[in-house]
Amino acid sequence: MRLKMAASQAVEEMRGRVVLGEFGVRNVHTTDFPGNYSGYDDAWDQDRFEKNFRVDVVHMDENSLEFDMVGIDAAIANAFRRILLAEVPTMAVEKVLVYNNTSIVQDEILAHRLGLIPIHADPRLFEYRNQGDEDGTEIDTLQFRLQVRCTRNPHAAKDSSDPNELYVNHKVYTRHMTWIPLGNQADLFPEGTIRPVHDDILIAQLRPGQEIDLLMHCVKGIGKDHAKFSPVATASYRLLPDITLLEPVEGEAAEELSRCFSPGVIEVQEVQGKKVARVANPRLDTFSREIFRHEKLKKVVRLARVRDHYIFSVESTGVLPPDVLVSEAIKVLMGKCRRFLDELDAVQMD
């Protein structure tokens, strides 16, 4: 009976946990596919999936979102991450018409820097520009003008050496970019809605007599074509940590155990006059595996991760709120699924 229970626990661990050991990681691969385990029905079942799957929002602010996605496979989680990085469209500078650039920054480098500036514009309101179309229209292009000339400050002190005091417009920022509406864009978008996300991004530095005068065309694109179109600064996931104490840890050993983990993971409590360690919040742990450096402690703790519990962190560049980015990524994933089903139907018809 005990042997049977131990075998059952080993199978459950293999199916549901990725175990971190001192010299390696166990149960890395997904194994819960049909027929692999005797007594388990691992065939796909939509009702069971809908019952087990959930999304829990943990934290959200203007530019970042942390949420848990539970009940999916690593392939789907990674597909979702890659869609966020490379297939949710944004608006970015694609073409730069340089009329005058006497700064020390070459035209190509300047154009590249301008392309990486995030533009605050909802890409859902624009169309993709047709390939080979040189002149954009109000439905597929945003236009910005950058015209800055550096001069000496006539009121600067003679003995001053501070460029901020000596020169006027010696630093070119994104706040100098002026939106020029095309067609009826001025009626569609209120003033201040179309702009760089941040107005304090340094583009170039000038000295008296130097000037930058150029026109920028912003188009809709995806990160798969160029990183400047990526809507996120970071989009990553990690598995939920699962830390188990295999036996009671008391006294100084409890304090030492607490120091082996990230702050807040292990809590030391007073129980009947003794210090006793308990797992408080395993989610906070980064799994440095410091515990394996301590001979007396490494055998009293099991480190694992929950196989189907993904902690997603999404940080927007500011182009769109992070919750909108997630919903748009879901739409892209749904579109991929529909195209795949259409391909299957077409093959069956043939």
Question: Cα separation of 350 and 335, whole Å?
Answer: 23
Question: Cα separation of 338 and 44, whole Å?
Answer: 18
Q: Above pLDDT 90, what percent of the chain? A: 72
Q: Are 303 and 20 in contact (CB under 8 A)?
A: yes
Question: Cα separation of 38 and 225, whole Å?
Answer: 47
Please tell me the predicted confidence (pLDDT) of residue 209: 94
Question: Cα separation of 58 and 67, whole Å?
Answer: 5
Least confident of 26-35, 200-209, 220-229, 338-347: 26-35
26-57, pLDDT tens digit by residue? 888 887 788 777 778 888 888 998 999 999 99
110-136, pLDDT tens digit by residue? 999 999 999 999 999 999 988 877 778
Instruction: Categorize the per-residue pLDDT at 1 as very low, low, confident or very high, splitting at 50, 70 and 90.
Output: low
Q: How far is CA 268 from CA 205, 244, 274, 276, 298, in A?
A: 55, 15, 10, 5, 18
pLDDT over 70 (residue 2): no
Please tell me the predicted confidence (pLDDT) of residue 350: 66
Q: Which two tokens stand for residue 254?
A: 């409890």
Question: Cα separation of 98 and 150, whole Å?
Answer: 17
Q: Report the first-to-last Cα separation within the chain, whole angstroms.
A: 56
Instruction: Categorize the per-residue pLDDT at 4 as very low, low, confident or very high, splitting at 50, 70 and 90.
Output: low
Query: CA nearest 315: which of 81, 6, 56?
Result: 81
The DSSP element (H or E) to which 282 belongs, if any, is none
Domain layout of the chain by residue ranges: 90-230
β-pairing, 64-70 with 232-245? unpaired
225-284, pLDDT tens digit by residue? 999 999 999 999 999 999 999 999 988 999 999 999 999 999 999 888 889 999 999 999
Sign for the pseudo-dihedral over CA of 137, 139, 141, 147: positive
Per 3-state DSSP, what percentage of the chain is helix, strand, and coil (rounded to 5)?
Answer: 30, 30, 40
Instruction: Categorize the per-residue pLDDT at 285 as very low, low, confident or very high, splitting at 50, 70 and 90.
Output: very high
Q: How far is CA 177 from CA 8, 125, 198, 199, 333, in A?
A: 65, 21, 11, 9, 35
Question: Cα separation of 306 and 283, whole Å?
Answer: 11
Residues in Cβ contact with 103 at an 8 Å cutoff, skipping those fewer than 6 apart? 110, 172, 204, 205, 206, 210, 211, 212
Please tell me the predicted confidence (pLDDT) of residue 57: 95
CATH entry, 90-230, from 2.102.10.10, 2.130.10.10, 2.170.120.12, 3.60.15.10: 2.170.120.12
Q: Is 308 helix (H, G, I), strand (E, B) or coil?
A: strand
Phi, psi of 317 (to 5 degrees): -75, -10
